[in-house]
A and B are shown apart, each in its own frame.
Chain A
C-alpha cells in the first residue's frame, strides 16, 4: 500500500483540545474509532466531507488540520 500524501495534525489537535480521546472525536464526526486510528497513522485519506467534519470539530479551517505532501509545520 503506497503511503498517503495527505497528512494531518489530528493527534496533536486532540491533545490540544482537552486531551480529547479518539472515541470522542469519532463520535463527534460520525465515524468509528478505527477510522480515527487509521487517519492518525496516515493509513487513510478521508473523504472531503469527513475532512471538513473533523476540521469543524476542532473549530479550525481545513488547511490547519490537513496538509498535502510534507508537513508545513516541520
Chain B
C-alpha cells in the first residue's frame, strides 16, 4: 500500500475518532431544557468553533506521527510535493466533499421549512461537515487505489 493510500485511511480513521470523542465530550454539556435559548445558540457556536480548531490541531499532530511511523517502518521518505496526479485527485476529492456538504446544507435549511427545532438544523450541518470530510478522504483513497 502506498503512502497516499495509507494517509487517506489514517485520515478517515482520525476524522471518525476525533468527531466521535468530541461529540461524547460535548454531549453532557448541552444546556438542558433550553432548546432555543441564547445559551443553546452559544453551545452550538462553541461546538462548531472548538471542533474546527480541535480537528485542525489533531489532524496536524496525527499527520506528523503518521509520517514518523511511515519513515521508521518503510525507511522511505514521504513525498515532499504534490504532482499532477495528486492535484487531480485532490480536485475530485474536493468536488465530492463540497457536493456532500451542500446536500447537508440544503437538508439543514429544509429542516427549518418543515418546522423542525433549531438544534436539528445545527446537527444536520455539523454531521454533513463530518461526512463531507470523510467523503473527501474516501475519494482520495478510491482514486489512489483504482486510478483516475
- B81 surroundings in chain A (CB, below 8 A): 32
The 8 A CB mask of B109-133 against A (1 = contact, 0 = none) is 0000000000000000000000000
Instruction: A42 to B143: give the CA distance in the assembly, Å.
Output: 13
Whether a CB of chain B sits under 8 angstroms from the CB of A44 is yes
Chain A residue nearest in CB terms to B84 = A47
Instruction: A50 to B84: give the CA distance in the assembly, Å.
Output: 9
Specify the main secondary structure of chain B where it touches its partner: helix
Chain B min CB distance to A13 (Å): 19
Does A41 contact B147, Cβ atoms closer than 8 Å? yes
Contact of B84 among A33, A42, A43, A46 (CB under 8 A): A46
Specify the main secondary structure of chain A where it touches its partner: loop
Does A1 contact B146, Cβ atoms closer than 8 Å? yes
Chain A residue nearest in CB terms to B86 = A32
Number of interface residues of A (CB under 8 A): 18
Contact of A43 among B4, B83, B86, B147 (CB under 8 A): B147
Most chain A C-beta atoms within 10 Å of own C-beta, residue among B84, B143, B148: B84
Does A44 contact B85, Cβ atoms closer than 8 Å? yes
Chain B min CB distance to A65 (Å): 17
Residues of chain A from 18 to 69 with CB closer than 8 A to chain B in the complex: 30-35, 37-38, 41-47, 50
Whether a CB of chain A sits under 8 angstroms from the CB of B33 is no
Residues of chain B from 73 to 114 with CB closer than 8 A to chain A in the complex: 79, 81, 83-86
Which A residues form the contact surface with B (CB < 8 A)?
A: 1, 4, 30-35, 37-38, 41-47, 50
The 10 closest A-B pairs by CB, nearest first: A43-B147, A31-B83, A32-B79, A35-B85, A1-B146, A34-B2, A1-B147, A44-B148, A32-B83, A35-B83
Given contacts A31-B84, A32-B85, A38-B148, 4 further A-B contacts (CB under 8 A): A34-B79, A34-B85, A34-B144, A43-B146
